[in-house]
A and B are shown apart, each in its own frame.
Chain A
C-alpha cells in the first residue's frame, strides 16, 4: 500500500515535470504572438476591407434553442456589424419557448418557401421566414436535433464562401467580424478557420445589441470565470495558434471555410463538442490531402457572452464541455502522435489528451495522494506546506500572467478598481474554484461513459438595458 502510494507520488511529479514546460512554452508563444500581432495591427488599415470589393461575403449562422430572452438583441447586433456583405441565418432548433415569435415580432418576419438543397443531413425544416425590410436576415425553424444539426441546416442555406458561427446569447463588437476575417483576407495560404476571443458579458452594460460599458461582474463566481477565460484564450489559444496547431475554435464565435466544411460532411450530429470536432476534422482532411492551410486565433475581435452565474449551471456547462472533449478526442484518436498530422498530431493532440482530458484526473489523484501521504506520515508538515504552496504559486502565476497579458495588450477593464479586483480574484482562482472545476470535469467524463450525449440546457438571463 505504502509502496503504491510512493510510486503514485513519483508518477504525479513526473507528470507535472512534463506538463509545466508545456505551459511555459505556451506562455512564451502567446507573449511573442501578442507582441507581433500588436505591431501588425499598426500596419493594418482595417477600414480598407470595408470598402474593398474583394472582401468575401460571410454567412453568420446563429443556432438558437430557447433563446427568446436574448435572440433579438443578438440578431440586431449582428445585422449592425461593420462588414460589407453578410447574411444572418438564425436556426431555431425546435425551441419550446417563443424564440421564433420574438424574431417575427421584432423583425417583421413573414413565412416563405425557398428552394434549398439538403447537402448536409439535418432534422426536418418546419418553416422558413424572411424579412421584407431586411433581406439579409433568414430564419429557419426546424425540429429539435441539437446544435450540430442546426448548424448543418444553416450551412445548407448559406451562400457565402465563409460562414461564421455565433451563439444566440452573445453580443459581438461592431468590428469583430472584420477583425476575425482580416487574417483570411491577408494570408498567403488557405485559412480554414479563424476564431476570436470570447469575453464575459455579465456585468457589462448592453444597449441595442452593443456593449456600451465594460465592467466586471458583481458576483465572485462570474469574476473567476473572467480570469479563467483570459487564461484560456490569451494563453491557450494564442499559443497554439502561433504554432499553427490550434484544435479548438469556439463555437460561440468563429469563421470557417464553407467549402472545406462541406467537404468533410459538415458538423457531426451525434457529438456535443461540435466546434472542436469540426476543427480537428479540418486538420485531418487537409493533412491527409497534403494541402497547406492555417487555422488561426485572433485576439482582438471580441465576442461577449453570458457565463453561468450559479454553481449548478456552471457545473453542468463544464461537464458538457468535458464530455465534448472526450468524445472528440476519442473519435479522432488516429491523430494521436501521428506524424502525418504534423504539429497538430504530434504536439497539440497529445497535449489535449494529457493535459486537458487527463489533467483533472491526475490533479485529483495528486491531491488525494498528498493528503493520504500526510495522514500516513509519509509527508511531514514542512514538505506538505511546501508542496501546497508550490501548487498554489505555480497555478496563480499563470492566472496573474493572463491578467498581465490583458493589461499589456487589450485593457478592456479600464478602472483601477476593476483591475485590482481582477488581480485579487486571480489570487483566489487556484483554490477552491479550480478544485470545483476539476470535480465537474471528471464527473463529465464519467457521464460520457455512462449516459447518451445531450446538448444540455443552460438557463438564460438575457441582456437587460442596464446590465447583462
Chain B
C-alpha cells in the first residue's frame, strides 16, 4: 500500500494554517490601513476649500505617501466630473501640489507597475504638461505601458500629441485598435492627416485610418475624401462613405447613390446609412431600389433609411406597396414595429389635426394590406385608451382584407367584455357587408 510521507502531511497542514493566519492577519491590517486613509480623507476634505482658493499643501502635509495618494485620488475623482472654472482650479492645484511632476517622474523612472499606474493617472489629470512624458512612454517596449500612454494621450486630447499617435501606427508598433482609434480621433483634428495612411501598404493601417476618419468628430471635407469612394479596399470605401454622410455635403449624393450598387454588401449598407444622414428626399428612388437588395441586412438598413427619409412612413409604405414586393414591405414594417413606432402611431388615428390623422391612416392601411392586421386587432383588444380603440375600429371598418373576417369572428367569440364584443361586431358587420366587392391582388415574392 502506498505510504504518504509525514512531511507531506505536515506541509499540507502547515499550508492550511498559514493560509488561515494570512487571511485573518491581512483583514486586520487592511482594517487599520483603511482607518488611517479615512483620517487623511477627512483632513483633505476639510482643507480642500482653502487649497482650491490658492493655498499650497505644505511639505509636511505631503510627507506621508498615503496622505499624498489620498489627496491625489480626491482631486482626480473630482476632475472626472468637474467643468469650467472648477476644472481649472483642480488642474492648477494638482500642479501646485507637485502631484503632476511626481507622476511624470514615476512614469519615467518608477517601478514597473507604478509606471503603468502613473501613465493612467496622467491621462486622468488631463494636463498638457504630461504630453512629452507620455509620448516618450510610447517608445517603451512594454505593451501595457504603451497602451496606457496612448489611452492617456487620447484623454488629454491635445493636437500636440497627434503626430506621435500617427507615427506610432506608421512605425508598425503593436497596437490595440480601439485604443489607437480613440486617441487618434481625439488628437488629430485635420482628417487630411489620415489620407496618407489610407494609401499605406498594410491593410490594418488602412482600415484603422479609414475608421478614424469615420469616427472623428471634426468636420469632414468632401474634396479631400471623394477620391477614396472607389478605393480598392472595401473597408476603406465603407468608412469613407460613412464620413461623407456626416459631411452633409450635397455633392456626395451622387457618389452615395452609385455606392448603393457596390459589389460588397457592407459598402452598400454604409452608403444607405450615409444617405439617411444626408436626409435628401431626392434619393428616395435609390433607397426604394435598395429595399429589394439581395442581402437581408442591406434590406433592413434600406427600410430604416426609408423611414427616416420621408416625413410620414405611410408615404414610403405606399410607394413600396405599389412596387408589389412583399419582402421590401415586410422589411420596412418590421423596422417600424421593432422601433415601437408602429404602436406609438396608434393614438395619431384620432389626432385633431387632419394631416397627422391621414398620415397615420395611410400607414395603417398599408400595414393591413401587407398582412400586418394582427397588430391592429391586438390593439383593438388591448389598447389602454378606449377612444383609440374606437378609432382603430373605424379604420378597420373601412378596410377590406380577406383574413380580417375570420380573425374578427374568432376574436368576437373570445371577447371578454360586452363593450369589446359590441365594437368587434360593428367592425365585422361592415366587413361582411363589403366582403367580396374589393379584393386586392396578393403581393409578389421576388425570386
Contacts and interface: CB of A to CB of B under 8 A. Distances in A.
A466 B331 CA distance: 46
Interface stretch (B2-10, B93-101, B282-290): B2-10
Interface in B102-154: 113, 116-117, 119-120, 123-124, 144, 147-148, 151
A272 to B, nearest CB: 32
Interface centre among B2, B9, B24, B333 (most CB of A within 10 A): B2
Interface of B: 1-4, 6, 8-9, 12-13, 15-16, 19-20, 22-24, 26-27, 80, 113, 116-117, 119-120, 123-124, 144, 147-148, 151, 155, 174-179, 181-182, 215, 296, 300, 327, 330-331, 333-334, 337-340, 342-344, 371-372, 374-375, 378-379, 382
Contacts of B13: 393
A42 B340 CA distance: 41
Interface in A394-436: 394, 396-397, 400-401, 403-404, 407-408, 416, 419, 423
Given A48-B182, A419-B27, A394 B12 contact: yes
A43 B117 contact: yes
Nearest to A6: B1
B178 A186 contact: yes
B155 A48 contact: yes
Contact of A130 (B9, B123, B340): B340
B343 A110 contact: yes
A139 to B, nearest CB: 12
Given A9-B1, A113-B337, A416-B27, A54 B182 contact: yes
B9 A386 contact: yes
Contacts of A110: 343, 375, 378-379, 382
A289 interface: no
11 contacts: A39-B116, A42-B117, A45-B120, A48-B182, A52-B182, A113-B333, A115-B333, A115-B334, A130-B340, A132-B343, A188-B174
A160 to B, nearest CB: 12
Contacts of A44: 120
Interface string A365-404: 0000000010000110001001101100110110011011
A234 interface: no
Given A110-B382, A138-B338, A387-B4, 18 more contacts: A39-B116, A42-B120, A43-B151, A45-B123, A47-B80, A48-B155, A48-B182, A112-B338, A113-B374, A114-B334, A115-B331, A386-B9, A390-B8, A390-B9, A393-B16, A401-B19, A404-B23, A408-B26
Contacts of B339: 135
Contacts of B327: 115
Contacts of B22: 404
A454 B2 CA distance: 42
B338 A114 contact: yes
Interface centre among A40, A110, A135, A423 (most CB of B within 10 A): A110
B12 A393 contact: yes
Nearest to A13: B2
Contacts of A116: 334
Nearest to B175: A188
Interface in A11-43: 13, 39-40, 42-43
Q: Is the interface of B mostly helix, strand, loop or mixed?
A: helix
Contacts of B123: 45
A397 B15 contact: yes
B28 to A, nearest CB: 9
A112 B16 contact: no
B342 to A, nearest CB: 7
A293 B155 CA distance: 29
Contacts of A40: 144
Contacts of A389: 9
A397 B330 contact: no
A186 B338 CA distance: 31
A188 B176 contact: yes
Contacts of B375: 110-113
A45 B183 CA distance: 14
A117 interface: yes
Nearest to B143: A188
Nearest to A384: B1
A379 B1 contact: yes
A13 B19 CA distance: 27
B397 to A, nearest CB: 22
A6 B2 CA distance: 10
A284 B432 CA distance: 61
B155 A135 contact: no
Nearest to A370: B1
A185 interface: yes
Interface in A159-212: 185-188
A208 to B, nearest CB: 23
